[in-house]
Structure 1
Amino acid sequence: MKKLFLCWLWLGTLSTAVLAQNGPRTVLDFNDGWRFLPGDDANAKNPAFPDDTWRTLTLPHDWSIEGQFSEHNLSTTQAGALPTGIGWYRKTFVVPASSKGKNVYIEFDGVYRNSQVWINGTYLGSRPYGYSSFRYDLSKHLKAGAGKNTIAVRVDNAAQPNSRWYTGSGIYRNVRLVITSAIAVDEWGTFVTTPTVSEKMAVLNLKITVRNATGRKDQVVQIGTDVLNAQGTPVASYTLTAVSLRDTLKTVSPQLEIYTPILWSVEQPYLYKIVTRIYRQDRLLDSYETPLGIRSFSFDPAAGFSMNGKPMKILGVCLHHDLGALGAAVNRRAMQRQLELLKSMGCNGIRTAHNPPAPELLTLCDEMGFIVMDEAFDMWKKKKSKQDYGLNWDAWHKADLEAMIRRDRNHPSIFMWSIGNEIREQFDSTGLTIARELAQIVRELDTSRPVTSALTENVPEKNFIYQSGALDLLGFNYKHEAYADLPKVFPNQAFIASETGSSLQTRGHYDMPSDSVRLWGKGGPANFTDGNPDWTASAYDNEAAYWGSTHEQTWKVIKKLPHMAGMYVWTGFDYLGEPHPYPWPARSSYFGILDLAGFPKDVYYMYQSEWTDKPVLHLFPHWNWPPKKVVDVWAYYSQADEVELFLNNKSLGVRRKTGNDLHVMWRVPYEPGTLTAISRQAGKTSLTRTITTAGKPAKIQLIADRATLAADGKDLSFITVNVLDEQGNLVPGANHLITFTVRGEGTLAGVDNGYQASLEPFKATYRKAYNGKCLAIIKTTGKPGVITINATSEGLQAATVEVVSR
């Protein structure tokens, strides 16, 4: 997209933000002014249907996240135990008279699920898959000028269960209105590859598909292409002077060269921009922009992954699409915060588990430097849930896969396409034909990236997807013990650990002893009595699902194997749904390195000590325990030779990591006071960390992640809420009910505390702290001004913080 224009285009009585004005091509934000009705009414598609009593809202919208957790939703426990159902959306709008003779499209980035769309009572179509982007041509059905038009969307998420995780319900991704000339670049109509890349020169192959909607076959146009650097200066240009449009679609393939290019990398994600312009007799008909990151990469059977000629490990995590208390409703800042936290940990890769993501996530990965595995499906024709996408497979899989590849293939952050996750067809011969078909669909649209699939079976005879020969890159989930032997079992194949871990942890909860690994079995906990009565898992890295392993176990293996291109840990963040191994009232996962609120669990610092060059010293657990209890004290550290632990200034000894160790441990009889760790390198102090026994809860602390926000009605400030004692120490067991008030140009968008069995609603003005912490999410109103957030709780000193919306 071109530079954001800070202006408004008036459409009758409605105003719509102009996202981009590229010559005759206008892209309008179409998220405002919708009306919503929960429930079903077949007459709602009719323009005359009265909707004045419906709720007015702004998209993206997820109605499920607004509901209450309930046992009545137990059919969707795996999907978060929140309400689903059917809902209707309607919007009345006016298009400018200048749109006459032009093409007007409505673009949906994603609707969950089974959407049906009408314009002025005319049915446009349906889309069952809740993760696909799609558009409809409104041109022939619109009333130009002052005439009012009504778009109606029915969303049906009633049939349950249809997913193994929380999906959300509604028009949960962005919507745009796009107005183009009758001759214009087609939807997702450019594709750029860089077959030759060096520090001296890069060759760009560009395919441009032009749509001719004039109805005439004698159109002749000129097509010009400029490559702009980050400063907007042209660095390469190409012009086709006489392109004959004899068919509806015409593809041309110019080639350009860039000298001394700046290469895209995870450390320096440098982006160019390609601007394609179409002219007829010197009149500009269309202008279209394509992102460009210039990089080379390879997956080698022996050497693993390399980028721009340099070997590196992919240090990735898997992410589901929900944003915690915000649900599935897309918000760019919430995604950006997640990626910032992961980047600080040392993460450089994202797997979009297990579906096409919101396009904003991929743009952020382009800008911030992440290696993305873009994944299409969690199931093929064989279902995993009774009402899932398997029911739609035959009719829709080709269109949905093509939509993902065409939409996403210009993102430099994407390095591989995944056609499936733990697909059941890998166990029989149907996996042969379907895998080949899907891989062929991908390769017809893009041969510049490998095709992979996340496989569970590492025995060739048992894996028909492998036997199909369709995969360029073998992705294996779990079973890390077998990674060393993969080259023998699968000769001449390249490998990646597409899913690892499934370690189980609740932030701030600690069970001892910590030096033995406990696996949670099928149907509930195993190796210890019935789990914990408060539905917690220990935050020491020593518990995992029965199919998985601890974080340390897997990383110890992968870091030493050059043939393993890297890993994607399950998962970066806790997510709604799939609360293995606990039943209700657990309603979200325990797998995350960070909890649902975005607070790091202790293992975050293990990765930071291994995956970054930062000096790290992380000491845990807290220091509030019953008298004389023997406590396991762990430390993660880096850039040091040793760590010495002190209790009330008395040394408890020096520990050094030996062999494969990733942490050190002391077993300490508890006594109140101060626990201090000092790391040293070559005898000199590197870092010091201190934990103090906390007193009684006394006050609230509020910390805003950002003090200045954009006054766009979308930007967020995440407010960390800490319960402290008089001396300012976090009180680890505090669970006070915190009440929030917001004044000024902001609203309370959500609250959370990261506890997997908390049944308080996300859309509320209150939240209990969990292990001393909770979260408030503030959203701007769209107007500039000061936003004041106040937090109170009985028996605690209140706190206030201000942020500014500009």
Structure 2
Amino acid sequence: MFNKFVSFLVLFVTALSGIAQPREAIDFNGGWSFTLADDLQYRRAEFSAANWKKITLPHDWSIGFDFGEEHPAGNAGGSLPGGVGWYRKTFSLAEKDKGNQYTLHFGGVYRYAEVWINGKYLGKHINGYLSFEHDLTPHLHYGNEENVIAVRVDNSLQPNSRWYTGSGIYRDVRLEKRSPIHLLRAETFITTPEVSADKSTLRVQTVLNQTMPGKSGKLHLKLQDKNKKLIAEQTLAFSDSQFDQELSLGRVALWSPESPTLYDLSISLLDNSDHVRDELTYQVGFRHFHFDEEKGFSLNGESYKLLGVCLHHDLGALGAVFNKSAAKRQLLIMKDMGVNAIRTAHNPPAEEFLDLCDELGFLVQNEAYDMWAKRKNKFDYHIDFKEHYIDDLVRFVKRDRNHPSVFMWSIGNEIREQFDDTGIAFTKNMSEVVKKLDPTRPVTAALTETNYDKNFIAQAQALDVLGFNYKYFDYDKLPTEFKGVPLIASETTSALQTRGVYDPLQDTVQLWPASSKDKFVTNGNTDFTVSAYDNVAAYWGTSHERAWLEVKKRDFLGGIFVWTGFDYLGEPVPYPYPARSSYYGIVDLAGLPKDVYYMYQSEWTDTEVLHLLPHWNWKEGDLVDVWCYFNNANEVELFLNGRSLGRQSKTDDQLHAAWKVPFEAGELKAVKIKDGKGVQEVVKKTAGKPVDVIVDIAHDRYAVDGTTDLYFLTVSLVDEHGTVVPDNDMELSFIPQENIAVIGTDNGYQADLNSLRSPKRNTYKGLGVGIIKKENISNVGKILIKTDTFEKEVTIK
């Protein structure tokens, strides 16, 4: 059926933002006007949009609304509206710019985007997650006459997703100026046919948009390390529009999540006079990997477990708006937890997200579709699938195949065609398309049917690796049922938690809802919370501990992708409205880790972990379940007001220490014991009334470009001793004083119906987050954080 293993020697690359002249990428995010209305006269060049709202892209109009049960997307879609919106922008070009080609590039528009330039219709783009571009050149004006871009975005057909999508031009837009004769980025593909300890080979394939004048030209290739040290350089002549050349290299450093070494490659198009006509610059990462049906996954010749999470595309309070510093924050929080792999659930991410994964070191399973021709929602992509899926797949692969982070292509998630024979043809067709465009990476899909004779996607025998979602009880039968194919746990867990909520423990994992017969939980909490103890899951899932233990002990499973790294907007299983965001995340929507974060950190990193839960504010006599996540030690000893309550260890089936403790006010302390000695301790104290806030400002680590950077202010409500108060929440007002704009606020509570754009936010379990931006990056900013009884001014340097 399949070879015993699938092995790949690969080089991966990503385009740099800086491109040498004459090619120039022009930031096109500023100066737009927007209206949430619909009239075809808006497309006309002569129409005046003077009264429209002035905005800067990226933009998501849905996130600015209040949550509401009346919105047709439902709570699965985040309880926010869609609709139809129009965007317009005017710009000028100098007479001297005539003769260049201008292409307008959209990173992502949700949904059904139609574009006009100076009243001329350029076309309609269907897929809401893929980038697209239009050649503006034939329709442009130069000199004193302005140009007008008009974009209609239609997200009115609802529901069209199982999660929050956002609405509008939610990713970056750029205008690219280039020479009439230039290299085609989409046709440029860079690989390494050979990677070894002593030598590697770099292969560059690219295409010109037309034949060079005089029917000949030169291509100059230069590879440097990040210190500008020359690794290889070559100039080659060619006489047509196709170019394919290999460079022989000596020893190079290999890329991995632990050491994401990148090199700079420039591809310069020269004319016969050695003038640069065009140049593309890429970041190159060298590595090789291997999937084996028995031993799992290996990277650069070493056994390597994929420790992954699934991530949706929204960024919490920002909605669908892509912001690189916010995405960097998410990724670094995951990195600190020990994550080395990301699954893009369930659509192509922003191009800049993959840039971050290249640079920070994450392996990415890049996913194309959540559905094929069979629907999951009434108005989802199935409507357009048959007509557009091949073209969209081609653009998807060509866009992302030059990223070091992308190591697998997924053509679908829990596709319903796996249950009938239409799945065979679709799978073969898509796999063939992907492999023709990129033979260096495996093709996979995330499946649920674990019987071969019933799984028509697997029967196509066209996938290099099979991913299975959940189905823990079937893991051991998979190697027999699907012989000769490497396997991964492509989606696991679906455990449910609200940060800071601690219900009394049950003896077993509770399933909320209990089965497919129930849409919502019938015995849940009246405040729409779920306990943060790791003991509640959706009926198809299980606890975090069990899911990881099931994968950890099976070498044939190449790795795990936990559902999910972060809470996300929409899909608030197990509750109906007013719940409006998910409970699955290891980290909440505000970016605050839940307790189980430290279970993963204790298992997936060498960081010294000692995390004690819950808080220590209870009623006298309450019997409290106390847990402790830890690593690098034999056991933990617990003390209550100085009295030892005994030592506990982890076991093969339990990844935490646990006690039942009658509450008494004071101090609960855990001490990590290694070789009989205490090596680390952590304390929980009973908190009094809130009298102040402590503000932690996170920016420097998440900075990217100085212009779009955000500041994340974590506000802790504390008593007179500085202890966080978990049971007396207060409203915070984030009031700009100087050089500050408030972008959003959040607290991680899944049923908080206050708009995420509001500058006011209640703390939740003592914590809240404000997201702010400097209006002038060079100047100091000041913001006042105020409650009804006290306030604090914070300086942002």
TM-score of the pair, normalised by structure 1: 0.95
The structural deviation recorded for 1:213 is: 7.9
**Counterpart for residue 10 of structure 2:** none
Paired with 1:662 and 1:251, the residues of 2 have a C-alpha distance of 57
Residues 342, 572 of structure 1: 8 Å contact kept: yes
Residues 192, 410 of structure 1: 8 Å contact kept: yes
SS in 2 for 1:687: strand
**Counterpart for residue 163 of structure 1:** 161
**Counterpart for residue 535 of structure 1:** 528
Residues 564, 586 of structure 2: 8 Å contact kept: yes
**Counterpart for residue 103 of structure 1:** 101
2:756 to 759, 762, 768: 762
Residues 519, 525 of structure 1: 8 Å contact kept: no
**Counterpart for residue 693 of structure 1:** 686
**Counterpart for residue 594 of structure 1:** 587
Instruction: Tell me the amino acid that sits aligned with residue 270 of structure 1.
Output: T
Paired with 1:457 and 1:2, the residues of 2 have a C-alpha distance of 35
Instruction: Tell me the amino acid that sits aligned with residue 342 of structure 1.
Output: M
Please state if 1:268 is matched with 2:266. no
Paired with 2:737 and 2:485, the residues of 1 have a C-alpha distance of 59
Instruction: Tell me the amino acid that sits aligned with residue 320 of structure 1.
Output: H
Instruction: Tell me the amino acid that sits aligned with residue 376 of structure 2.
Output: K
1:145 to 143, 146, 150: 143
Residues 229, 273 of structure 1: 8 Å contact kept: yes
Report which structure shows greater RCO (CA 8 Å, sep ≥6): 2
* 1:199 to 1:380, Cα distance in 2 relative to 1, 3 A: same
Paired with 1:3 and 1:503, the residues of 2 have a C-alpha distance of 37
Paired with 1:351 and 1:515, the residues of 2 have a C-alpha distance of 32
Q: How does 1:262-301 map to 2 (within 5 A)?
A: 262-281=253-272, 282-301=274-293
Paired with 1:423 and 1:430, the residues of 2 have a C-alpha distance of 11
Please state if 1:727 is matched with 2:718. no
Paired with 2:60 and 2:176, the residues of 1 have a C-alpha distance of 24
Residues 499, 567 of structure 1: 8 Å contact kept: yes
SS in 1 for 2:188: strand
Q: How does 1:243-258 map to 2 (within 5 A)?
A: 243-245=238-240, 250-258=241-249
Paired with 1:318 and 1:3, the residues of 2 have a C-alpha distance of 24
SS in 2 for 1:184: coil
Residues 378, 423 of structure 1: 8 Å contact kept: yes
* 1:373 to 1:595, Cα distance in 2 relative to 1, 3 A: same
Paired with 2:675 and 2:706, the residues of 1 have a C-alpha distance of 52
Please state if 1:437 is matched with 2:411. no
Paired with 1:61 and 1:122, the residues of 2 have a C-alpha distance of 24
Deviations 1:561-611 (A, max 9, x none): 111100110000000000011000000000000000000000000000000
Identity of aligned residues (%): 48
The structural deviation recorded for 1:523 is: 6.9
Paired with 1:121 and 1:720, the residues of 2 have a C-alpha distance of 47
Instruction: Tell me the amino acid that sits aligned with residue 746 of structure 2.
Output: D
Paired with 1:219 and 1:394, the residues of 2 have a C-alpha distance of 41
1:606 to 592, 595, 599: 599
Instruction: Tell me the amino acid that sits aligned with residue 150 of structure 1.
Output: V
Please state if 1:41 is matched with 2:39. yes
**Counterpart for residue 182 of structure 2:** 184
Paired with 1:235 and 1:778, the residues of 2 have a C-alpha distance of 42
Q: How does 1:226-375 map to 2 (within 5 A)?
A: 226-241=222-237, 243-245=238-240, 250-281=241-272, 282-375=274-367
The structural deviation recorded for 1:515 is: 4.1
With 588-597 and 529-538 compared, the bigger mean Cα shift is at 529-538
SS in 2 for 1:360: helix
**Counterpart for residue 639 of structure 1:** 632
* 1:566 to 1:523, Cα distance in 2 relative to 1, 3 A: closer
Paired with 1:792 and 1:644, the residues of 2 have a C-alpha distance of 40
SS in 2 for 1:579: coil
The structural deviation recorded for 1:193 is: 1.2
2:125 to 105, 124, 127: 127
SS in 2 for 1:211: coil
Q: How does 1:620-769 map to 2 (within 5 A)?
A: 620-706=613-699, 712-769=706-763
Paired with 1:529 and 1:143, the residues of 2 have a C-alpha distance of 63
Residues 519, 543 of structure 1: 8 Å contact kept: yes
Residues 521, 575 of structure 2: 8 Å contact kept: no
With 285-294 and 520-529 compared, the bigger mean Cα shift is at 520-529
Please state if 1:579 is matched with 2:572. yes
Paired with 1:205 and 1:187, the residues of 2 have a C-alpha distance of 15
Residues 324, 704 of structure 2: 8 Å contact kept: no
Deviations 1:421-466 (A, max 9, x none): 0000000000000011110110110010000000011111111000
Structure 1: gaps of 5 or more residues: 5-18
Residues 518, 527 of structure 1: 8 Å contact kept: no
* 1:3 to 1:96, Cα distance in 2 relative to 1, 3 A: farther
**Counterpart for residue 6 of structure 2:** none
Paired with 1:132 and 1:114, the residues of 2 have a C-alpha distance of 11
* 1:3 to 1:402, Cα distance in 2 relative to 1, 3 A: closer
Residues 514, 632 of structure 1: 8 Å contact kept: no
Paired with 1:129 and 1:527, the residues of 2 have a C-alpha distance of 31
Paired with 2:669 and 2:348, the residues of 1 have a C-alpha distance of 46
Deviations 1:701-757 (A, max 9, x none): 211013696884411110001111111111112321111112222210100000000
Paired with 2:578 and 2:414, the residues of 1 have a C-alpha distance of 27
Q: How does 1:386-405 map to 2 (within 5 A)?
A: 386-405=378-397
**Counterpart for residue 511 of structure 1:** 503
Paired with 1:711 and 1:287, the residues of 2 have a C-alpha distance of 22
Instruction: Tell me the amino acid that sits aligned with residue 653 of structure 1.
Output: G
2:456 to 453, 460, 464: 464
Q: How does 1:445-460 map to 2 (within 5 A)?
A: 445-460=437-452
Aligned residues: 782
**Counterpart for residue 539 of structure 2:** 546
* 1:644 to 1:473, Cα distance in 2 relative to 1, 3 A: same
Paired with 1:655 and 1:330, the residues of 2 have a C-alpha distance of 45
* 1:3 to 1:306, Cα distance in 2 relative to 1, 3 A: closer
Paired with 1:461 and 1:693, the residues of 2 have a C-alpha distance of 58
Instruction: Tell me the amino acid that sits aligned with residue 273 of structure 1.
Output: D
Instruction: Tell me the amino acid that sits aligned with residue 520 of structure 1.
Output: W
SS in 2 for 1:73: coil
* 1:171 to 1:527, Cα distance in 2 relative to 1, 3 A: closer
Paired with 1:392 and 1:702, the residues of 2 have a C-alpha distance of 48
* 1:469 to 1:88, Cα distance in 2 relative to 1, 3 A: same
SS in 1 for 2:672: strand
Instruction: Tell me the amino acid that sits aligned with residue 750 of structure 1.
Output: G
Paired with 1:319 and 1:2, the residues of 2 have a C-alpha distance of 21
Paired with 1:78 and 1:435, the residues of 2 have a C-alpha distance of 28
Paired with 2:521 and 2:345, the residues of 1 have a C-alpha distance of 31
SS in 2 for 1:561: coil
Instruction: Tell me the amino acid that sits aligned with residue 42 of structure 2.
Output: A
Paired with 1:396 and 1:327, the residues of 2 have a C-alpha distance of 27
**Counterpart for residue 512 of structure 2:** 520
Paired with 1:465 and 1:75, the residues of 2 have a C-alpha distance of 30
* 1:614 to 1:2, Cα distance in 2 relative to 1, 3 A: closer
Paired with 1:2 and 1:500, the residues of 2 have a C-alpha distance of 30
Paired with 1:651 and 1:783, the residues of 2 have a C-alpha distance of 52
**Counterpart for residue 3 of structure 2:** none
**Counterpart for residue 775 of structure 1:** 769
SS in 1 for 2:208: strand
Root-mean-square deviation (Å)? 1.8
Residues 14, 355 of structure 2: 8 Å contact kept: no
Residues 99, 179 of structure 1: 8 Å contact kept: no
Residues 738, 783 of structure 2: 8 Å contact kept: no
The structural deviation recorded for 1:391 is: 0.5
Residues 525, 581 of structure 1: 8 Å contact kept: no
